[in-house]
Structure 1
Amino acid sequence: MWNEKKQNPPADRGQAVGIIIFILGLGTLLPWNFFITASQYFNGRLTQPNVTSNGTSGVTTKNYNYDSWMALLSQLPLLMFTLLNSFLYQLVKERLRVAFSLITIFFLFCLTAALVQVEMKPDTFFSVTMATIWFINMCGAVLQGSLFGVVGLFPPRYSTLFMSGQGLAGTFAAVAMLCSILSNAGATSDALGYFITPCVATLVTLFCYLLLPHLEFARFYLNRSQCNKQETSKEILSAGWSPSSSSSSSGPDKDMEASGKFIDAEESQERLSVFAVFKKIWLMALCVTCIFAVTLAVFPVITVRVKTVYEGNAAWEKVFTCVCCFIVFNVMDLAGRSAPSLVQWPSKESLVFPAAVLSRVIFIPLLMVCNIHNSKLTVIFSHDSIFVTFMALFSFSNGYLASLCMAYAPQLVRSKDIETAGSLMTFFLVLGLAVGASLSFPLGYLVLPTDTQTAA
């Protein structure tokens, strides 16, 4: 009997399933993080030597605005295909969606690694890179939505492991970049080694996904949903229920109502509409949109342009952006995401909560007046320690407040509407990322002129 199995699930031997789900979470956000962390490499490739307009030899750098376009072309397909995946799951099997997405991501990373060795005109390189970013994030959106559905079949602890894997994806990419820089193998070899890393990681993710159904513990939970559906159908049929008898107050319907089964069926039909659920969680939805809009507005387009004040220290200059921008951001963001498990303040009813969310807007001007060379704005905070402090507070508040939003929203609706609330919050989270990516364009132009000339 299935009920007996349900009472005695097999053990997760060696925490194998937990490790696999953690790796799957890591794999879903690797594409985004590897492209965002490689900002210096891509901006370097887009620097075009030329002769200046007055005939003197020099370097004219066309402002391709890589960081802003990368953020926008990452979030638009994420937004579109997160919605599309809600329809795809009914038409395309989950295994096919996940396998196809991972294989496509693998080949696109291989292409990116191969292009490290190929000389290309900046315009061509920019176009190929943007197309790669679009398609790789398109597959990433389908992959993430599909794996969220799979992980949802397991106990809540495994969802936490999946989210932890996602949280570490940024740190993983930043550490990979730091290791490639410290290897001192040369700029080309550094970039090649950096992009080979996600190729290997994607293959490991695919292997882990294919291995998952072969583990006894995973099979138990993956098959349970289908078995429950089959047993429910058998119970309804054995009770003699039919649509024509639903108006009767006696017989099988009455027995089912007494056992609670008929009431559950009615309750499932009484779920609130999407708009009605939104009316209950609108504040949290707007808050999570604001949080990520502020974050993507300046990270990475503004933050990667900040330079160290110690210009004579070549070794520190080489790793400054990787350490002070990407590693600090990802480590503190992860700390912020973990903090709500210890303390949750302000409360969801407090007006301090939306005030705290809105207060993050102050980070936009603060980061814009850090030590950015050739900036149109006056540099006020030049020292490295001030920039690191701003980045730490900026990233910690991002992770902490976003986690509170995602935790508070389900508490504002009935249990039967939690799934709808979760879907809405995910949509507004991605919407915030897209809005922030759009805002990064005008903010980027405020900091630097369109074209920067450096005389030879």
Structure 2
Amino acid sequence: SARGQKTGQVVAFIIFILGLGTMLPWNFFITASQYFKGRLGASSNITNSSSGGATKDYNYDSWMALLSQLPLLLFTLLNSFVYQWVQERIRVAFSLLAFFFFFSLTAGLVQVDMEPDTFFSITMATIFFINVCSAVLQGSLFGVVGLFPPRYSTLFMSGQGLAGIFAALAMFCSILSNADERLAALAYFITPCVATLGTLLCYMLLPHLEFARFYMKRSDTAEMSKELVSSSGQLLQRLNGQTDRHREKLTLTCLCFFFFFPPFTENKELEANGKLDTKLIWVMALCVTCVFAVTLSVFPVITVRVQTVYEENVSWKKVFTCVCCFIVFNLMDLVGRGAPSLVMWPSKESRLFPVAVLSRLVFIPLLMLCNVEKSRLPVIFRHDFAFITIMALFSFSNGYLATLCMSYAPQLVRCKDCETAGSLMTFFLVLGLAIGASFSFLLGKLV
């Protein structure tokens, strides 16, 4: 009916907003890199004026990336236990309220003068705890979105992809506002506060929509029926299905063990028919790890330090990092994520696929040889256009190859193993982010 279609469109919009809300913390903190480094640098100069004005290097970008990805990795695993003990509504509401609290705290600190060590410690603690909540929120919302038809999962992922562009545009507007630096930073951090409240309101509205209730109540009804009518053959079948799904989710806690002992049972007959290949699934897992390890090793720790050659153009200099680093990266990454819907090359069986993934290693020296501030290395790619071109290829390949990895993995296992394959790939994705964040410390010192 027309009413049902309208309700379905509202649900689609809400799920898109939920996807956007889950990625706001990471993107707003990473995009505000210049604000935090400027705040720490200015404070350090004031504090150390008696010792010649030496500025303490807090290595903000590397610590921010590491303290974002480690809790995300840990609590992605622990969430497989949490979902059994705490209701989904409580998990989602608590996580979003925590987002609001920590963003409000960060916005409040904009107007507060404090010792740089204290400011750095509070900021790092905020980043750690906000990513703990982010891991719980993402795991919970993926479960909610999974109750709806597949196209709603695509909308959720699209919302996550646009979160980076949203944060970059918010920073761009705050820079162009020509307001006082602290006032601009305050407006910037108030934006995710408002967006988080909007996300919470959308989530609270979702169960009240008829279209959403239809899909969400199917799960609730199945749970109640399992307890009340366990003798029904059909309900027993549902129970077994739910038990299998729970068992698959619990494999998250054993993924490190599975790295050495693959969880997919060898079956020569299925392998002969091309329906199961345990070697290829592990190739995909290692590939997605490599993709994100390369990305986080240089983004943002190296990329935010690249400067424009047009130093005399004050307006361009102010927005250069925001535009050429964050907007270009997020836009081309989003394009890369959408490209596999048009073409998927190399194929999952091709030996060129891991070669293409490993070839992204070339972006590490390419970006390090750009016009990096106070670089110890020779500057080969000095012009802005060279940096923009490298960033565009770097971000496009990140989105494209990561999407291929996540798409190919479920095709390489039996139907009943698809959810476990998805969980495995998610773990190795986050593992790649953590490895890249750790490696960024070394690369940051090299330049």
Aligned twin of 1:370: 370
Given residue 393 of structure 1, which amino acid in structure 2 is its aligned partner? Answer: L
Among residues 143, 151, 175, which one is paired with 1:149 in the alignment?
A: 143
Aligned twin of 1:359: 359
Among residues 46, 49, 61, which one is paired with 2:45 in the alignment?
A: 49
The alpha-carbon deviation at position 292 of structure 1 amounts to 0.1
SS of the residue 1:61 aligns to: coil
Aligned twin of 1:100: 94
- Give deviations 1:376-403, integer Å, cap 9, x for gaps: 1111110000000000000000000000
Preserved contact between residue 7 and residue 209 of structure 2 (Cα < 8 Å): no
Given residue 134 of structure 1, which amino acid in structure 2 is its aligned partner? Answer: F
SS of the residue 1:33 aligns to: helix
Aligned twin of 1:61: 55
Matches within 5 A, 1:1-80: 10-13=4-7, 15-47=9-41, 48-49=44-45, 59-80=53-74
Aligned twin of 1:450: none
The alpha-carbon deviation at position 373 of structure 1 amounts to 2.3
Q: Does residue 286 of structure 1 match 2:271? A: no
The alpha-carbon deviation at position 61 of structure 1 amounts to 1.6
Matches within 5 A, 1:200-211: 200-211=194-205
Mapped to 2, the partners of 1:160 and 1:216 lie a distance apart of 21
Preserved contact between residue 409 and residue 421 of structure 1 (Cα < 8 Å): yes
Aligned twin of 2:83: 89
The alpha-carbon deviation at position 52 of structure 1 amounts to 7.9
What is the TM-score normalised by the length of structure 2? Answer: 0.89
Mapped to 2, the partners of 1:66 and 1:192 lie a distance apart of 19
Aligned twin of 1:186: 180
Mapped to 1, the partners of 2:212 and 2:61 lie a distance apart of 40
Matches within 5 A, 1:120-269: 120-230=114-224, 237-238=231-232
Instruction: Give the total of aligned pairs.
Output: 418
Mapped to 1, the partners of 2:370 and 2:413 lie a distance apart of 43
SS of the residue 2:54 aligns to: strand
Mapped to 2, the partners of 1:406 and 1:131 lie a distance apart of 31
Mapped to 2, the partners of 1:352 and 1:90 lie a distance apart of 42
Given residue 324 of structure 2, which amino acid in structure 1 is its aligned partner? Answer: C
1:383–1:266 Cα change, 3 Å:
closer
RMSD of the alignment, in Å? 2.5
Mapped to 1, the partners of 2:242 and 2:96 lie a distance apart of 40
Preserved contact between residue 68 and residue 437 of structure 1 (Cα < 8 Å): yes
Preserved contact between residue 51 and residue 60 of structure 1 (Cα < 8 Å): no
Aligned twin of 1:439: 439
Q: Does residue 333 of structure 1 match 2:327? A: no
SS of the residue 2:444 aligns to: helix
Mapped to 2, the partners of 1:229 and 1:42 lie a distance apart of 48
User: Where does structure 1 lack aligned partners over 5 or more consecutive residues?
Assistant: 1-8, 240-255, 448-456
Mapped to 2, the partners of 1:181 and 1:50 lie a distance apart of 24
Given residue 122 of structure 1, which amino acid in structure 2 is its aligned partner? Answer: P
Mapped to 2, the partners of 1:266 and 1:107 lie a distance apart of 35
Q: Which runs of 4+ in 1 moved over 2 A?
A: 9-14, 50-53, 226-236, 264-269, 271-280
Preserved contact between residue 107 and residue 189 of structure 2 (Cα < 8 Å): yes
| Structure with the bigger percentage of helix | 2
Mapped to 1, the partners of 2:87 and 2:224 lie a distance apart of 19
The alpha-carbon deviation at position 225 of structure 1 amounts to 1.8
The alpha-carbon deviation at position 329 of structure 1 amounts to 0.1
- Give deviations 1:41-99, integer Å, cap 9, x for gaps: 0000111215989x8x9532211000000000000010011111110000000000000
Matches within 5 A, 1:295-334: 295-334=295-334
Preserved contact between residue 72 and residue 434 of structure 1 (Cα < 8 Å): yes
What is the TM-score normalised by the length of structure 1? Answer: 0.87
The alpha-carbon deviation at position 267 of structure 1 amounts to 12
Tell which structure's C-alpha radius of gyration is larger: 1
Aligned twin of 2:345: 345
SS of the residue 1:68 aligns to: helix
The alpha-carbon deviation at position 14 of structure 1 amounts to 6.3
Preserved contact between residue 168 and residue 322 of structure 2 (Cα < 8 Å): yes
Mapped to 2, the partners of 1:233 and 1:351 lie a distance apart of 50
SS of the residue 2:141 aligns to: helix
The alpha-carbon deviation at position 265 of structure 1 amounts to 6.9
Residue identity over aligned pairs, in percent, reads 72
Given residue 219 of structure 1, which amino acid in structure 2 is its aligned partner? Answer: R
SS of the residue 2:55 aligns to: strand
The alpha-carbon deviation at position 101 of structure 1 amounts to 0.6
Mapped to 2, the partners of 1:186 and 1:51 lie a distance apart of 23
User: Where does structure 2 lack aligned partners over 5 or more consecutive residues?
Assistant: 252-257, 265-277
Mapped to 2, the partners of 1:66 and 1:232 lie a distance apart of 51
Mapped to 1, the partners of 2:425 and 2:47 lie a distance apart of 51
Aligned twin of 1:276: 263
Preserved contact between residue 51 and residue 58 of structure 1 (Cα < 8 Å): no
